[in-house]
Structure 1
């Protein structure tokens, strides 16, 4: 884990606020030291705004978080659930939501990745919503802070188009 603290001073009107951004992300208010837990290389950008509205030059700090020494050789446990409204055949009507979880009793979970079908893996940041009608597969895996990666697992499901509403007068 790394903690990044930022401070600013202004001789004129005084500091109004400090903002920070992780990597290329959007700036957000800095209210407390930024704690980074994910193993890997990171960049925190920061700037200050004074009470007259002047914005400082953006500065940044680059750092790497490494896994703590460990004898952990067991990959994380992973699972996924699919939820949504189902029709009588078990297909999801209009949309299916895939929620992935991982746990690791050794060094702790570092990241979860998922892929739609045979697509590229990408970071899992929250439930995946699938709206397209048809058969789908979501693959997933997790890595712990010691570098152990779980086997790829998958869930299969089908999404169908919602039935048209009956608009005939009765």
Structure 2
């Protein structure tokens, strides 16, 4: 499924839609070139989940942890700077950590990452962004179905 996010406000609204429909535990892989909007979407989702204060890009820290309003933590990882998947060991996290994983540049983490429930591929599209939603697990299939069924989705759908 391909969606179109024409402006930053649409990105914020889509992040809120992801928050309203998310399962209790989820792993999201955020793919796309530099500037595609991965961090912007992650920030919008975290805000919609009640994260207050500064939401820092994990570009240099590699991982940022945020307490969620409904309990548990969100882990926001940016793996652009790692040289190989083995370096993830040094971050001190494992698959049981966090209710929500938001992973930028997941291809650099390889098999050291938990599988994505939802894989989001972002790309610059004119003045906005396109986003492809690909479920990777049964949990992701259910999440995608809740997104598809949600009335707010229609504003983002790209006509065939």
Confirm or deny a common fold (TM above 0.5): no
The structure richer in strand per residue is 1
The structure richer in helix per residue is 2
TM-score (norm 1): 0.19
Q: Greater CA radius of gyration, 1 or 2?
A: 1
TM-score (norm 2): 0.20
